[in-house]
């Protein structure tokens, strides 16, 4: 992969784990476990080819609707990731969690905090793990924070602009998503990065997430490189 034109920020909706398992006669949670391995491979690959930011959708604010056993498995896989945080630091990967983290246990939040601190000096890929993440929740929370600043007198309503909103999102200080990839054959955002994908290029694929490969990421980047991004300007 050529260095130039590598998207700076890639977002991935890691979808299709359940169907992958079902196709093999396995319980849905088995698909999540293989999906977690795919995540590791893809994060390492993004780091290697020089992607700056990778945001992965791991668990949405709506995913609590799933059977308890499945939710527990996903949280357990997250704990595995947290226990393994050191190995990502060795790869120079920086970890950041985005989402409404208040829903998680004190123990898990401390581990997330620890993983972030451990990797704070890493200079390679920055991985945002979206967990209990919802684009609408993120915007609502940003509005709460902005309203509190207005109430305190630190900010005037007429001073609120797009940069104010961006600065109060979980991704404050990061660039918008350039390339959004959704595998699994679904053509929707499912509440992912509503603000940050305003001008993203979308690539949809039929592959189920556990089968997603480095080669498929290359293909998505190639597709991205062919697109003509105008951002509203003229040709
Ligand atoms: C994505 O795979 C993982 C999570 C939502 C946590 P799914 O579990 O949604 O897989 P499908 O879409 O049912 O196949
Ligand atoms: C989106 O996938 C959430 C994650 C991949 C974590 P879903 O499987 O929850 O989305 P829908 O229900 O198909 O829209
Ligand atoms: Mg799904």
Q: What is the mean pLDDT of the chain?
A: 97
| pLDDT, position 235 | 79
Which residues, 6 or more positions from 155, have their beta carbon under 8 angstroms from its beta carbon?
146, 149, 164
Q: What does the DSSP assignment read for 168-209?
A: TSTTTTSPPPSEEEE-TT--S-TTS-TTTTTTPEEEE--S-G
61: Cβ–Cβ under 8 A, 6 or more apart, which residues?
Answer: 99, 100, 132, 133, 134, 136, 137, 191
Rounded CA separation 166/173 (Å)? 8
14 lines ligand 1 (CB under 6 A): yes
pLDDT over 90 (residue 142)? yes
- Which of these is catalytic: 17, 63, 72, 219? 63
pTM given for the model: 0.97
CA of 15 to the centre of ligand 1 (A): 5
Does residue 26 surpass a pLDDT of 70?
yes
Instruction: Name the nearest CA neighbour of 180 among 170, 160, 194.
Output: 194
Domains detected in the chain: 3-134+176-224 (3.40.1180.10)
Q: Which residue has the higher pLDDT, 171 or 1?
A: 171
CA-proximal residue: ligand 2, atom 1 (nearest): 190
Known catalytic residue at 63 = yes
CB-CB contact of 35 with 17 (8 Å): yes
Protein residue whose Cα sits closest to atom 3 of ligand 2 = 60
């Amino acid at each position: 992969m050529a260095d130039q034109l590598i998207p700076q920020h890639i977002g991935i909706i890691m979808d299709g784990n359940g169907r992958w398992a079902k196709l093999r006669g396995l319980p849905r949670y088995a698909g999540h476990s293989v999906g977690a391995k795919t995540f590791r491979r893809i994060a390492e690959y993004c780091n290697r080819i020089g992607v700056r930011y990778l945001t992965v959708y791991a668990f949405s604010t709506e995913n609590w609707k799933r059977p308890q056993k499945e939710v527990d498995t996903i949280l357990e896989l997250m704990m595995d990731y947290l226990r393994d945080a050191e190995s990502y630091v060795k790869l120079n990967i920086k970890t950041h969690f985005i989402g409404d983290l208040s829903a998680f246990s004190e123990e898990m939040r401390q581990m997330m905090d620890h993983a972030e601190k451990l990797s704070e000096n890493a200079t390679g890929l920055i991985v945002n793990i979206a967990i209990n993440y919802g684009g609408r929740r993120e915007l609502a929370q940003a509005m709460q924070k902005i309203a509190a600043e207005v109430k305190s007198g630190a900010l005037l309503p007429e001073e609120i602009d797009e940069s104010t909103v961006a600065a109060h999102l979980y991704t404050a200080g990061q660039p918008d998503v350039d390339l959004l990839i959704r595998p699994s054959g679904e053509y929707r955002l499912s509440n992912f990065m509503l603000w940050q994908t305003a001008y993203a290029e979308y690539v949809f694929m039929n592959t189920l997430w556990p089968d997603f490969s480095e080669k498929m990421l290359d293909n998505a980047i190639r597709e991205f490189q062919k697109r003509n991004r105008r951002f509203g300007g003229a040709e």
